[in-house]
Amino acid sequence: TGDSAPLKEAMAVLQHHDAITGTARQNVVNDYARQLAAGWRPCEVLVSNALAQLSFYKQNFSFCHELNISICPVSQNSEQFQVTVYNPLGRKVHQMVRLPVSEGIFFVKDPNGKTVPSNVVILPSSYSKKYLCELVFSASVPALGFSIYSVVKVTVHNSQAQSLQASPRRPR
């Protein structure tokens, strides 16, 4: 069962200036982090349930909290995955989606099944001497709605991946 109340409560506690400006003692900061993490977990279930109901498809949704530092186990380890982009604004937006991936060639299809231009960008890592690969594509998302994009990695075995198995679904 999903629940947004624990996150609301954690956010209410974190309105205090100690949480915003860093004027809290270390043990209090640790507790703020604990409350946020505990609040987010049932909220993820709530979002998953909402997406399942709106898209009519039940999925094991993954939330990548470390996308800003190019860590996302699903996109890095999967040959095929779906990207749901939700737009909370009351107008249509175009958003550049960046996902860390393993080295390779990828095909991205929009909700109407059309292939969208994508690039795999090879970047120097800030943390190690290794290079990172990031898949970049532009997503178009309707006002207060979501779009589901399908991504397939092309390997020797599925070089005919042009006919993507993942069935795209229209934006809602």
The footprint of other proteins (CB under 8 A) covers 20-26, 47-48, 51-53, 55-64, 67-69, 72, 74-75, 78, 80-89, 93-97, 99, 117-119, 121-124, 126, 136-139, 141, 165-167
Helix or strand run (H / E) with residue 136: strand 131-141
The minimum distance between CB 48 and other proteins, in angstroms, equals 8
The minimum distance between CB 5 and other proteins, in angstroms, equals 20
Spatial separation of the C-alpha atoms in residues 119 and 112, rounded to whole Å: 20
Choose between 10 and 146: whose C-beta lies nearer to other proteins: 146
Decide: helix, strand or coil at residue 33: helix
Choose between 124 and 157: whose C-beta lies nearer to other proteins: 124
The answer to whether residues 10 and 36 touch, using CB atoms and an 8 Å cutoff, is yes
The minimum distance between CB 141 and other proteins, in angstroms, equals 6
For the residues of 7-32, what is the DSSP string, one character each? HHHHHHHTTSHHHHHT-S-HHHHHHH
The minimum distance between CB 110 and other proteins, in angstroms, equals 15
Q: Which two tokens stand for residue 35?
A: 């409350």
Choose between 2 and 63: whose C-beta lies nearer to other proteins: 63
Q: Which two tokens stand for residue 44?
A: 């993820």
